[in-house]
């Protein structure tokens, strides 16, 4: 199979209702969702977003070492998707990961 760009949706594992998108080169939806670079990016992204709020809610002694920060939800091929025009018009909102 040929690699193509997939739009992957991921969200905070700690706070419902807010997610982000990234583009991943893959040969299938499963491969896109299981991408190590995506997982690392998503974890770093939401750690930065959520860490302070978790400490405020649970106290500064809250152990952040075991926290899961992100949850990969879905992946769709970019080509022919509803995202194709959005990515073309605002590529800065869609980081591309290998």
Q: Are 13 and 70 in contact (CB under 8 A)?
A: yes
The Cα–Cα gap between 94 and 62 comes to 32
Written as tens digits, the pLDDT of the chain (98 aa) is 899 999 999 999 988 778 999 999 999 999 999 999 999 999 999 998 898 888 889 888 888 888 899 999 999 999 999 999 999 999 888 898 87
- Domain enclosing residue 31, as ranges: 4-97
Q: Are 71 and 10 in contact (CB under 8 A)?
A: yes
Give me the number of domains the chain comprises.
Answer: 1
pLDDT at 43: 94
pLDDT at 4: 95
User: Facing residues of 70 across strands?
Assistant: 12
């Amino acid at each position: 199979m040929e690699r193509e760009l997939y739009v992957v949706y991921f969200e905070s594992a700690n706070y419902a209702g807010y997610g982000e998108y990234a583009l991943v080169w893959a040969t299938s939806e499963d491969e896109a969702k299981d991408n190590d670079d995506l997982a690392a990016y998503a974890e770093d992204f939401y750690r930065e977003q959520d860490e302070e709020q978790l400490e405020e809610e649970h106290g500064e002694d809250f152990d952040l070492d075991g926290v899961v920060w992100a949850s990969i939800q879905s992946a769709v091929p970019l080509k022919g998707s509803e995202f194709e025009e959005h990515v073309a018009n605002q590529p800065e909102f869609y980081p591309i990961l290998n």
